[in-house]
């Protein structure tokens, strides 16, 4: 799903129809979270990412999308917590542009230090 990057109302309609068919599907909630994130509807993205985490907490990409949506809402503490929980790509935190909003937060630097990633 992430590779197709379905955007716009068509993608949201497709995921919402799938949700009616299978409301307990982690992948459908993840798809909705990502589609809402792409549409800058961050509250809805967070809501569906949280539902996906409730269903299957080990899928790291859901935590990544939730962290991105939380960061766009300005919830840096919650975003860092979500990213730190399951995202295996945290080793790229110091170089990845997605993490730019965090760089001014002292908790970000503390997380890098705790993970032995500070330069």
Report which of 52, 59, 60 is spatially closest to residue 35, judged by C-alpha positions. 52
Share of the chain above pLDDT 90, in %: 27
Mean pLDDT of 90-116: 72
pLDDT score of 58? 79
Domain presence at residue 2:
no
Domain presence at residue 119:
no
Residues 6+ apart with CB under 8 A from 106: none
Domain presence at residue 3:
no
Domain presence at residue 18:
yes
Give the total number of structural domains in the chain: 1
Domain presence at residue 1:
no
pLDDT score of 49? 95
| pLDDT-based confidence at residue 79 (cuts at 50, 70, 90) | confident
CATH number at residue 107: 1.25.40.10
Per-residue pLDDT at 90 exceeds 50: yes
Alpha-carbon gap, residue 101 to 83, rounded angstroms: 13
Question: Domain containing 23: what range?
Answer: 8-114
Domain presence at residue 12:
yes
Per-residue pLDDT at 17 exceeds 70: yes
Mean pLDDT of 2-15: 63
């Amino acid at each position: 799903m992430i590779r197709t990057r379905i955007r716009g109302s068509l993608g949201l309609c497709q995921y919402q129809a799938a949700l009616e068919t299978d409301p307990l599907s982690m992948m459908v909630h993840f798809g909705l979270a990502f589609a809402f994130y792409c549409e800058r509807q961050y509250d809805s993205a967070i809501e569906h990412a949280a539902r996906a985490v409730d269903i299957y907490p080990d899928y790291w990409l859901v935590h990544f999308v939730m962290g991105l949506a939380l960061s766009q809402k300005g919830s840096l503490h919650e975003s860092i917590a979500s990213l730190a929980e399951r995202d295996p790509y945290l080793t790229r935190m110091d170089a990845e542009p997605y993490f730019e909003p965090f760089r001014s937060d002292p908790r970000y630097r503390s997380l890098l230090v705790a993970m032995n990633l500070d330069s």
